[in-house]
Structure 1
Amino acid sequence: MEARENSFSFVVNENEMRIPFFQRAYVWREEHWEQFFNDLKESFANKKEHFLGSVIIKRQQGQDNFSMVIDGQQRLTTFSILLKILYDELEVDERDDFRSLLFKKYTKNNEPKISHSKFDKEKYIKILQDINSIDLKDKDGIFGCYNYFKTRIKDFDKNDIFDFTKHIADSKLWVVVYLNANEDEQKIFDSINSTGEKLTATDIIKNALFDKAIKETSEEQATNWYEKYWEATFEGKENLGFWNTEIPTGRVKRVRSEIFLHAFAIIKGLFDPEKHSLEKLSSLYKDHIRTIDEKELENLLLY
């Protein structure tokens, strides 16, 4: 593992940065965007650098030259959307210095440097390539982020846009952690309590399942299983709202998917109500997932 303090220019060294298809959707809201923007604005006004957080990436070996984003996708997404808005505000001859921060090399259609997860890929591409198709009334998710920052950049005089863009692009705002090929990214992911929205047990279990599926089979097979079993059950348009609804369980609220996975774990003998607390649910699943092979993994998803 290697950690470096860096500016956003670290993305230039990566041909492509992929957010795994199974990572959760973009969940930051106005309270996060407001803090994020205010911190950058204050940093610019005081000509001081501000720490935005860490990003953990793992370069993949093989023919495809890309790096996997293990943690930090919410910050990366937010920053790149803000940067794209600023980029569009610049004069055409001022954009060249920033193009490589947003787009891959040698692409005629401005292919994004960051390849987003399954949930937000379509909307993210629209922001990078086709802003005319953005829902300007949307206040949530990817489009909500775009609309919020589009309003906030009015805080700046037009003449300051280039200097602000340069400041946030060049300042060492990030700590980038590079994982070696032999390091287990799932262990790193599990140990992180990300700033913003806390991961649910469902998020952690899903990551463990499909990280294991990729390692046991291939990304193509894991994607197939995800679409066939997990997405069809928990994340389809008809089901997502139901499973994400919070239900009071004692002194805390839990989403329905966590409650279901808790009951399933009891039935499967993974969870003993006499010995285990609900806080152990995801770790018990992870321990089980580590021990099973490809066939057992598919059977678990099939149930």
Structure 2
Amino acid sequence: MATAIEVNKQSVKQLLETGKEHKFVIPEYQRPYAWTDEQIQTLFDDLVEYTGNNNESTYFLGTIVSYENENREQEIIDGQQRLTSLFLLLRAIYTKLDSMTETKEVRNFKRQIESALWQQDELTAEVDFDKTLIESRVMRDKGNITFSNILKQGTYEIGAKDNYSLNYKLFQELIEKFATNEPELFFWFTRNLLNKAILLPITADSQDTALTIFSTLNDRGLALSDADIFKAKIYNRLDLMEKADFIEQWQQLDEDAQDANESIQKLFYYYMFYLRALENDRNTTTPGVRKYYSRNNFEQLYKDDVIKNLTSILNLWIVINNNVEIEEDWSKNVKVKQILDSLTSYPNEFWKYPVVIYYLKHKESQKFDEMFLQFLKKLLATLAARYVVTPTINAVKRGILNLNAEVVNSPTPKFDFPNVDEKEFKDKVKVAHRNTVRMLLKVLAYEKQQELLPDRWEIEHILPQKWQSSYFPSSSEEEVKKIVEHIGNKIPFEKKLNIVASNGYFKKKQESYKKSKVIALLNLSNQHSDWGLDEIRERDIRISDELLIIFNEWGLNQLQFSIQDDSKPMPTAEDLKKIDELRSKGFI
């Protein structure tokens, strides 16, 4: 069946008048009105400049994409922000005209604006100010009523902070100033806005067609995200009662996602990796979110468990990002949260996909928190060690896609990553890439820490980055500069305390160190009376040994792992010897 699209260039007045036959509707799934004062100012200034240049050519305002819904309304898919602003601007002009002495010009432009904003009697042209030609139905948006009242009454509540009121107030102020300073140009400005400013309405035969058109256009305002389009798709397939429930669920999901510093868009992205894993898709090329979900006529969107699974994924991120507990035992396991916190400092997002998949697939299993902890440890050991040796995305990309597919088949999946050479790892740890240092310091700190690290901490250079050259007479400036940046000279330290400690030497900073809640820093402060290049070199060695012991305990270079009752497997005799040595030096 052929797709029908109607495109007709129209002036603002011509387009808005079509609302008399087919009312403009901003549907439930659209975003709330969000134009800023800067965008309002830009629109107004552009029209003023166009008028001042006495230009008889037309002024293009952009496109409006819509389709005629089952109620014969013009449902706006794209351009709602611009269209709403034009209604507010014309209402502000009308309010100004209504306050002026009635002249031929005033009467003329009042009649023209009346025809563009409100329904009129077909015989008498009498205006019904209670029947506007546009209605916002954005779900759970109190601004819908505000917008309607502004158009009906031409006033706003004093002190109101919503965008409709603020932008209408700004339009009124701009118009008042312009009409006072340029009274004659004010009428030409109104004439140009109504009859010379051009919109390009694109009317589609269905919502699907309209969404397809939208996806190819660059909206000057706030574009719909893929998630907004998915919302429209799902919403359009539901019956009346289901729509009401869906709106509530979606709004709650959106609010909770924002509170967790996530978005529904990201949730769909994470969920895509889970669905790809179920399909055994190990392709390293990641498809676009909209392209992926549009396959087979959006069949994945229409499954009953979509919102449930998105909510579950969000619960995971609520725990990770907000450091709170939910009604699931694993979220109360400090060790689990410590490993997750360490993973958040991994240099890219590849760690997130197998974590989401593991959680979504196995969270209902018995002893899930034990399983999850073992999995997370092995994942962190593998990814951290690989990145230390090869600090690039491609070092783990294929392994992650393979792991994703393995996770859905087993709680003890295969880790098909290239082995890490232990000597190379130990050599490179001391000069670890800056992207990995924070993660490695967390791993070390959590071996001693019984809770999460303080919320705001910085990487402390124990020997300051700025030093007096006389302090190390036998070492060159270049040598000291390099050693100061070794991992052996770095440790977590609360930002507030770090500011107080400033760039002093070790003895001067010890008083600040003693106030820290970072156990590793307290231990170091108590066990050293001074700190110089030799201490850094020694700690470099100890850190590389300790990290390798930890990562080996967690399953580094092992293809698979088994679920242990004890969260740590028994160390070997060689490990015990190294642990005793580390303990004697104050590192454990």
Fold in common (TM above 0.5): yes
Question: Which of residues 123, 126, 134 is equivalent to 2:157?
Answer: 134
- Residues in 2 aligned to 1:156 and 1:21: alpha-carbon distance in whole angstroms: 36
User: Could you report, residue by residue, the CA deviation over 1:76-104 in whole angstroms, capped at 9, with x for unpaired residues?
Assistant: 01111111000111137622221121123
Distance in 1 (CA, whole Å) between partners of 2:264 and 2:153 is: 35
Paired residue for 1:269, among 276, 280, 293? 276
Give yes or no for the alignment of 1:192 onto 2:217. Answer: yes
More off after superposition, 21-30 vs 260-269: 260-269
**Please, what TM-score do these two structures have when normalized by structure 1?**
0.79
Partners in 2 of 1:156 and 1:171 — Cα distance?
Answer: 19
Matched, 1:10 2:35: no
Q: Say which SS state the counterpart of residue 96 (structure 1) adopts.
A: helix
Identity of matched residues, % = 18
Contact residue 156 and residue 165 of structure 2 kept, 8 A: no
Asked if residue 113 in structure 1 is aligned to residue 138 in structure 2, the reply is no
1:191/1:270 Cα in 2 relative to 1: closer, same or farther (>3 Å)? farther
Give yes or no for contact 2:61–2:197 (8 Å, CA) kept in 1.
no
Q: Is the 8 A contact 1:124 1:142 kept in 2?
A: yes
Distance 1:5 1:168 in 2: 15
CA contact (8 A) 1:212 1:290 kept: no
Q: Are 2:244 and 1:224 equivalent residues in the alignment?
A: yes
Q: Within the alignment, does 1:153 sit opposite 2:186 as a pair?
A: no
1:41 is aligned, of 48, 58, 66, to 48
Contact 1:55–1:72 (Cα < 8 Å) also in 2: yes
Contact 2:26 2:76 in 1 (8 A): yes
Give 1:193 shift.
Answer: 2.3
1:165-196 per-residue CA deviation (whole Å, 9 max, x = no partner) reads 22211114211222235962221122222113
Deviations for 1:80-135, whole angstroms, at most 9, x for unmatched residues?
Answer: 11110001111376222211211234574522211113234122112212444434
**2:114 alignment partner, one of 99, 123, 133:** 99
Partners of 1:136 and 1:147 within 8 A in 2: no
Structure 2 residue matching 1:196: 3-state secondary structure: coil
CA distance in 1, matches of 2:238, 2:247: 15
Q: Which has the higher contact order (CA 8 A, sep 6+)?
A: 1
Kept in 1: contact 2:257–2:263 (CA 8 A)? no
The amino acid across from 2:173 in the alignment is T
CA contact (8 A) 1:84 1:128 kept: yes
Structure 1 unpaired stretches of 5+: 246-254
Q: Which amino acid aligns with 1:6?
A: Q
Q: 1:168 to 1:270 in 2, by over 3 A?
A: farther
Judging changes above 3 Å, is the alpha-carbon distance between structure 1 residues 270 and 232 closer, same or farther for their aligned structure 2 residues? farther
Structure-2 change in CA distance of 1:87 and 1:131 (3 Å): closer
1:113–1:54 Cα change, 3 Å: same
CA contact (8 A) 1:266 1:273 kept: no
Between stretches 65-74 and 140-149, larger displacement belongs to 140-149
Alpha-carbon distance between aligned partners in 2 of 1:91 and 1:267, rounded to the nearest angstrom: 60
Which amino acid in the other structure matches residue 217 of structure 1? L
Report the residue type matching 2:86 in the other structure: F
Distance 1:76 1:155 in 2: 24
* CA offset digits 1:119-162 (Å, max 9, x no partner): 34122112212444434463x62222212212211332354444
RMSD: 3.0
Aligned to 1:123: 146
2:53 counterpart of 1:53: no
- SS of equivalent to 2:169: helix
Q: Which moved more, 1:158-167 or 1:185-194?
A: 158-167
Contact 2:66 2:78 in 1 (8 A): yes
CA contact (8 A) 1:17 1:69 kept: yes
Counterpart of 1:301? 307
Change (3 A) 1:85 1:229: same
Tell me what 1:291 maps to: 299
Match of 2:377 in 1: none
Distance 1:102 1:187, change over 3 A: same
In 2, Cα distance between the equivalents of 1:55 and 1:270? 39
Q: 1:213 is matched with which residue?
A: 235
Structure 2 CA distance for partners of 1:165 and 1:221, relative to 1, 3 Å: farther
- Looking at structure 2, the residues matched to 150 and 270 of structure 1 have their Cα atoms a distance apart, in angstroms, of 55
**Which residue identity lines up with residue 121 of structure 1 in the other structure?**
N
TM superposition shift of 1:230: 0.5
Aligned 8 A contact 2:65 2:79 in 1 = yes
Contact 1:208–1:286 (8 Å) recurs in 2: no
CA–CA separation in structure 2 for the residues paired with 1:240 and 1:302: 14
Among 228, 242, 246, the residue aligned to 2:259:
242
DSSP 3-state at the match of 2:137: coil
Q: Name 2:550's counterpart in structure 1.
A: none
Asked whether the equivalents of residues 29 and 231 of structure 2 are also in contact (C-alpha less than 8 Å), the reply is no
Cα distance, 1:91–1:240 mapped onto 2, change above 3 Å: farther
Matched residue pairs, number?
Answer: 279
Q: Is the 8 A contact 1:5 1:174 kept in 2?
A: yes
Partner Cα distance (2:221, 2:168) in 1:
18
Which whole-Å CA distance do the structure 1 matches of 2:277 and 2:158 have between them? 44
* Residue identity matched to 2:61: L
Which residue identity is paired with 2:29? Answer: F
The 1:47/1:134 distance shift into structure 2, 3 A limit, reads farther
C-alpha distance after superposition, 1:190-231 (max 9, x if no partner): 2222113354xxx322322333431x334x356314323201
Contact kept in structure 1, 2:25 and 2:74, CA below 8 Å: yes
2:82/2:221 contact within 8 Å kept? no
Structure 2 equivalent of residue 251 of structure 1: none
- Letter of the structure 2 residue corresponding to residue 286 of structure 1: S
Q: Structure 1 CA distance, aligned partners of 2:119 and 2:226?
A: 30
* 1:235-272 Cα deviation digits (max 9, x unpaired): 4xxx47526x4xxxxxxxxx543333333333343796
Distance 1:46 1:285 in 2: 48
